[in-house]
Amino acid sequence: MADKLLPFGKEKIVEIIKKYPTPFHIYDENAIRQNARNFLKVFGILQGFRQFFAVKATPNPYILKILKQEGLGVDCSSLAELEMAERMGFKDEEIMFSSNDTPAEEFLKARKLGAIINLDDISHIEYLEKHAGIPDLVCLRYNPGPARKGNGIIGKPEEAKYGLTREQMVEAYRILKKKGAKRFGMHTMVISNELHESYFIETARMMFELAVEVHKKAGIKIEFVNLGGGIGIPYRPEDKPVSYERIAEGVRESYNKIIVGNNLHPLGIFTECGRVITGPYGYLATRVRHVKHIYKDYVGTDASMANLMRPGMYGAYHHITVLGKENAPKNHLYDVTGSLCENNDKFAINRKLPEIAPGDLLVIHDTGAHGFAMGFNYNGKLRSAELLLRHDGSVVKIRRAETISDYFATLDFNGAKKFK
């Protein structure tokens, strides 16, 4: 089986480690730019196409800057994400605000930024009106319920907390129209990490049909549909990457039939992908601390679930390369672990790898999205640095590693000592 390739070899990582100790996430700027360009080019065949990067996937100002330069907008879902977008110069309709269980202050912030507000519930219309006012442009998030199956990570739409039902969608647009809204968008997100192109084409068809229904029943014309994120990436060496071309072609065909066919052209098509934009272009570099042989063989690293939670949380596969042993036979079976006092703190279970010794350097692949971002401090574990590998081979530190003082910063030791 072909192995997954790296944009650097052992020598490069050894050189980087002299300045930035392991563990760290490193992102490949060149590959992120190339992919973003290609994404926009291929989906550019669609009417009014726009892609909003889901900030939660890789919330780092440098990454946002790169994507802004490449012409992407941002999709935010919290105050911190809105603020990060604002500070990096995103404004107005470059920002999509797709949140849920939203506090008033976030609606207010989104309104001030002129962001496209995407409501998660019919009751949020009144809430938004009361706290921030109804903007001209409002988007509604649709939950198709039993009409769609969903997939692994996100679960069945019927049991998902997001969005409005079909009946509520029509009713909500009527209410918004009455309250003075003039422009209307429609959003959905029903799948996550999906590698089958047909799911996205099917989602587009469902949304186009709903746009026709809303036009008939509520008398409003939908300005855009946002198909959400959820395009998967090939985490396993045998996985095939999604064909952007096939999705774009399929969506266009459906658009021509349903939207053009019902005289609703032009209607813009948006996406808010995170994973597929940066996921494959980030790597977690970590050093092996200990190797132990008990009932199984364990490789203990200097990273942990605090740096990459997906394997522990979802049982997700992340490929691992042992640097300098790329061509050695994979004739050992290991669990690759972190140091958390939790037995699910494993990057891999029963993984075939070359023989590993303490001091070896491992690279865990595909950590460019939902990797660092999901980090946490349980067990007093600290979040790592993030580095950017530039086109000329230079490395920029785009986030420093946390220190123990960061961890203690919210505590009051003096108060505790005096406390009786």
Ligand X SMILES: *Cc1c(COP(=O)(O)O)cnc(C)c1O
**What span, in angstroms and rounded, lies between the C-alpha atoms of 292 and 16?**
28
CB-nearer residue toward ligand X: 142 or 334 = 142
233 part of the interface to ligand X, by CB under 6 A: no
Which of 54, 204, 225, 303 lies at the binding interface for ligand X (CB under 6 A)?
Answer: 54
Residues 6+ apart with CB under 8 A from 90: 64, 68, 73, 74, 113
Based on the shown chain and the rule CB under 6 A, indicate whether residue 74 belongs to the binding site for ligand X.
no
Residue with tokens 């918004």: 176
Shortest CB 51 distance to ligand X, Å: 10
Under rule CB under 6 A, residue 229 binds ligand X: yes
CA–CA gap between residue 71 and residue 53 (Å, rounded): 10
Among 164, 189, 206, 322, binds ligand X (CB under 6 A): 189
What one-character-per-residue DSSP string does 118-145 give?
A: EESSTTHHHHHHHHT---SEEEEEE--G
Does 192 sit near ligand X (CB under 6 A)? Answer: yes
The DSSP annotation for 302-326 comes to S--TTT--HHHHH-----EEETT-T
- Under the binding rule (CB under 6 A), the answer on residue 64 touching ligand X is no
Q: Is 203 in the site for ligand X (CB under 6 A)?
A: no
Q: By CB under 6 A, is residue 150 in contact with ligand X?
A: no
Site string for ligand X, 89-108 (x = CB under 6 A): ---------x----------
Say whether residue 272 binds ligand X (CB under 6 A). yes
DSSP symbol at 257: I
Closest CA to 137 of 91, 87, 186: 186
Residue nearest to ligand X (CB): 229
| Residue 382 Cα distances to 224, 387, 409, angstroms | 42, 16, 13
Shorter beta-carbon distance to ligand X: residue 22 or 143:
143
- Give the number of residues in contact with ligand X, rule: CB under 6 A: 17
Site for ligand X in 362-401 (CB under 6 A): 369
For residues 329 and 341, what is the distance between their CA atoms, to the nearest angstrom?
32
State how far the Cα of 412 lies from the Cα of 275, in Å rounded to an integer: 38
Q: Minimum distance from CB of 54 to ligand X (Å)? A: 3
Q: Taking the complex as a whole, how short is the minimal distance between the CB of residue 38 and ligand X, in angstroms?
A: 16
The contact set with ligand X (CB under 6 A) reads 54, 56-57, 75, 98, 189, 192-193, 228-231, 272-275, 369
